[in-house]
Amino acid sequence: MDYTQKMLQADALKGKTIVVTGGGSGLGKAMTTYFLELGANVVISSRNQEKIDLAAKELIEQTGGSVLAVPCDVRHYEQVEALVKKACDTYGSVDVLVNNAAGNFISPTERLSANAFDTIIDIVLKGTKNCTLAFGKHWIAQKQTQKVVLNIVTTYAWTGSAYVVPSATAKAGVLAMTRSLAVEWAKYGMRFNAIAPGPFPTKGAWDRLLPGNLKEQFDLAKKVPLKRVGAHQELANLAAYLVSDFSAYINGEVITIDGGEWLKGAGQFNLLEDIPEELWDMLEAMIRAKKGN
């Protein structure tokens, strides 16, 4: 067994309908693939109709599952309401919403126009708010329970990060929304959780966060104590567990899957890892020599 293998039993999501925003590429597509393999129907959405139609065709061929591709810009509430309607008209009801759609790029903050900053906030924070509000209100109105919202954030939602300030600001808001609604809407039978991934190479993220030769210059695997980036299947395994009934008592949690990356940056003395093994004898002797001084 290893971390690239599939974790849950074959029918773990049988009978569930799951909406994945941004489900036509990257991590959204990886999660969608595994949800389908576990028996769920999946609605994928993004702004690009051609892209999601192609992804749906490929996923149906690959898994034999049922996929509905619905174009929807999460920044526009009326498009999200149309997504709710289309998903429910097709499958009867929706059980799980995965807020995965995002926009991001690196930039010194002083170079950003007000609109550039707003664009990221609108996709990440307002988009997540739009989907959460539209699906949440629908479930409450229909008196439907046992619903799950899974939000994809990042570890800089709580550490903050230079050069991706709009994204950090927005993801922090999404995390606050996750924890707040986990309490407020539990009475309606909804659970809210989040995943904070470390580096998982995708074209969408790498093109915007590590353009050109930055990929070679800043090898993100080196920042991770486990010295590797994430595999899409291990993120899909975690997501499948969190949207399944096996995690029924997990609510309001954010689960980090980053090989220890953010803690490595946080611990005051973690940089001592650069000290070569052979130096430790000398350092220990120097410290012991101070005894009684």
Contacts of 130 (CB under 8 A, 6+ apart): 74, 75, 76, 77, 80
HEC profile for 25-91?
CHHHHHHHHHHHHCCCEEEEEECCHHHHHHHHHHHHHHHCCCEEEEECCCCCHHHHHHHHHHHHHHH
SS3 218: coil
Q: Compute the least distance from the CB of residue 23 to ligand NAP, in Å.
A: 7
Footprint on residues 115-174 left by ligand NAP (CB under 6 A): 123, 127, 152, 154
Pairing of strands 190-197, 147-152: parallel
Decide which of ligand NAP, ligand HXC, none touches 107; Cβ closer than 5 to 8 Å per partner kind. ligand HXC
Distance CA 280, CA 118 (A): 50
Decide which of ligand HXC, ligand NAP, none touches 73; Cβ closer than 5 to 8 Å per partner kind. ligand NAP
Distance CA 109, CA 97 (A): 32
**Choice among 3, 77, 91, 156 that is catalytic:** 156
Decide which of ligand HXC, ligand NAP, none touches 8; Cβ closer than 5 to 8 Å per partner kind. none
Q: Of all residues in this chain, which one has the CB nearest to ligand NAP in the complex?
A: 204
Residue placing its CB nearer to ligand NAP in the complex, 205 or 224: 205
Which residue has 């010295």 as its token pair?
227
List the x/- string, 159-188, binding to ligand HXC by CB under 6 A.
--------x---------------------
Of the candidate residues 32, 128, 130, 154, the single one contacting ligand HXC (CB under 6 A): 154
Pairing of strands 17-21, 41-46: parallel
SS3 10: coil
Residues paired with 148 in a beta bridge = 96, 191
Angle between the N-to-C axes of helices 114-121 and 165-184, in degrees from 0 to 180, rounded to the nearest 10? 30
List the x/- string, 24-53, binding to ligand NAP by CB under 6 A.
xxxxx-----------------xxx--x--
70: nearest Cα among 93, 48, 91: 48
When asked if residue 107 is in the footprint of ligand HXC (CB under 6 A), the reply is yes
Of the candidate residues 69, 74, 157, 190, the single one contacting ligand NAP (CB under 6 A): 74
List the x/- string, 179-208, binding to ligand NAP by CB under 6 A.
------------------x-xx-x-xx---
Please say if 156 is a catalytic residue.
yes
When asked if residue 17 is in the footprint of ligand HXC (CB under 6 A), the reply is no
Residues that bind ligand HXC in the complex, under the rule CB under 6 A: 102-105, 107, 111-113, 115-116, 119, 154, 167, 199, 204-205, 208-209
